[in-house]
Amino acid sequence: MKKFPKQFLWGAAASAPQTEGAALVDGKSATTWDKWFDMHPEKFANQIGPRDTSNTYVQYLEDVQLMEDMSLNSYRTSISWARLLPDGKTLNQKAVDFYRAYFSEMNKKGIKPIVNLFHFDMPWWLMEKGGWENRESIEAFGYYAKVAFEQFGDLVQQWTTFNEPIVPAECGYLFEFHYPAVVDFKRAVQVGYNTLMAHVKAVEQFKENKHKGQIGVVLNLTPVLSKSERFEDMKAKEAADELYIKSFLDPVVLGRISPKLIALLKDNQLLPLTQEGDKERIAQATIDFLGVNYYQPKRVQAVENPSIPALMPSDLFADYDWPDKKINPYRGWEIYPKALFDIGMRIKNDYGNIPWYVSENGMGVAEEERFMNEEGIIQDDYRIEFVQDHLLELHKAIEQGSNCFGYHMWTFIDCWSWLNGYRNRYGFYRVDIEDGFKRIPKKSSFWMKEVIRNNAILKGEN
């Protein structure tokens, strides 16, 4: 038996836009996802948009009961900015009532809510002003955070500001996966910087108003691995690590932007616009704990014939397809559990051993109905193996002193996944979107319940 620490947080993660449904109901205003779907429904898998998500707004009592049935002791979700403050200023009482009822029910069932403020769902009224490109967004986010802390601070003891703050910059301003689907490296850097300052503003609000509990952030710490130890490959690895990992990790934990990142951006004419006092504010706004999302590593190699200065990240490092990788054939992602150990050791050795937890880890599989038995239960042994292998590496990191306090899987119930819709399923529970969003347990839910009850895993048991 591999035992985990006492009071270890076992749970799952989700977001408001991917689970709530009720997209424009009870006063909620539109987000970029609502508008983009209206403009280009063909971009979305099977033309399933944000209004057809998993109906938690209506079925939250059922969901919390299922969490208790599975013995979860914690759950991370997010608040919809556009639901709570539809115009950025006016409090929507129906939203307050919903979230208070939702979080109260979790607390009543012994399930600790960890609540995130922003999960890729930019309100449309702010997007029309430029979104994260506009520094006005920093103050707007700070006000939203202040209201959320005031309305729910008695129910929530652990807050996070952003989930994967690099993703809106990367997917919205480099790779066209999120609105506004722009390809502009310099604008992406500005979006990233303003997002960092919005995080700082929220932390300031939390600390200055002396709210109870802790505040953190959720980062996707995708480990960067180089093709070889060759100087050129290692230089590519360093550039990727600075952009994708240290860009947010260093300021939120260490209180400073990495000097190497600043030099990299300066050399490539990518430095963002800043304001006097930003540096000092970043230094004072360090977090209490860190959430870490991990799915797959990023393997890189040197670039042949790059543009100088860099026009895209691909001018700084090229993807490397490791021929010996183990892969999830359904999602196309590499499976590399050892990275969780490596992440844990890096946090211990380089980041003051800050308290952290696995805020997302999981395996997306398409057409899971192929693995359904006669009782209608998905036999997802592949997910059990995936989670077990990652937990073994996480346990090893904890044994060696890494200050990890929990593991949350993405996700509890199958959810809508942006442009992918419901193509890949991640949940402990299947959601039948054609039958009233009915929740059906998968084999992994029963296995995970035993892990939680034992606070331990047994190697080879599935």
What confidence tens digit (pLDDT) does each residue in 316-331 have? 999 999 999 999 988 7
In sign, the C-alpha dihedral spanning 295, 347, 207, 139 is: negative
* Low-confidence residues of the chain: pLDDT under 50: 461-462
Continuous segment of H or E residues that includes residue 235: helix 231-241
Catalytic residue annotation: 164, 360
Q: How many helices (H) and strands (E) does the chain have?
A: 16, 19
Cβ neighbours around 307 below 10 Å, total: 12
405 phi and psi angles, rounded to 5 deg: -115, 5
| Tokens matching residue 444 | 């992994």
| Tokens matching residue 420 | 């992918």
- Dist CA 429 CA 442 (whole Å): 5
**In Å, how far are 43, 66, 78, 153, 205 from 61, measured between CA atoms?**
33, 9, 16, 21, 31
- Dist CA 93 CA 26 (whole Å): 9
The strand ranges marked E within 260-305 are: 289-293, 298-301
- The DSSP result for 178-201, as a single string, is STT----HHHHHHHHHHHHHHHHH
Q: Which alpha helices (DSSP H) does 319-380 contain, by range?
A: 338-350
Question: Among 282, 290, 448, 420, which residue's Cα sits nearest to residue 362?
Answer: 448
The predicted-structure confidence for 82-129, as pLDDT tens digits, reads as follows: 999 999 999 999 999 999 999 999 999 999 999 999 999 999 999 999
**In Å, how far are 12, 65, 72, 122, 426 from 113, measured between CA atoms?**
10, 14, 11, 22, 20
Q: What is the CA radius of gyration of the chain?
A: 21
Please give the model's pTM, rounded to 2 decimal places.
0.96
Cα angle, residue 78 at apex, residues 343 and 452 outer, rounded to 5°:
55
Continuous segment of H or E residues that includes residue 34: helix 32-39
- The pLDDT value recorded for residue 462 is 45
- Dist CA 431 CA 54 (whole Å): 7
- The pLDDT value recorded for residue 459 is 66
The answer to whether 200 and 276 are in contact (CB under 8 A) is no
**In Å, how far are 98, 330, 372 from 2, measured between CA atoms?**
39, 30, 30
Question: Among 457, 449, 455, 451, which residue's Cα sits nearest to residue 71?
Answer: 449
- Dist CA 336 CA 264 (whole Å): 29
First vs last C-alpha separation in the chain: 13
| Tokens matching residue 385 | 């193996």
Q: Is 246 helix (H, G, I), strand (E, B) or coil?
A: helix
| Tokens matching residue 382 | 């592949």
Which domains are seen in the chain, by residue range?
2-457 (3.20.20.80)
Question: Among 357, 371, 359, 358, which residue's Cα sits nearest to residue 425?
Answer: 371
The answer to whether 365 and 382 are in contact (CB under 8 A) is yes
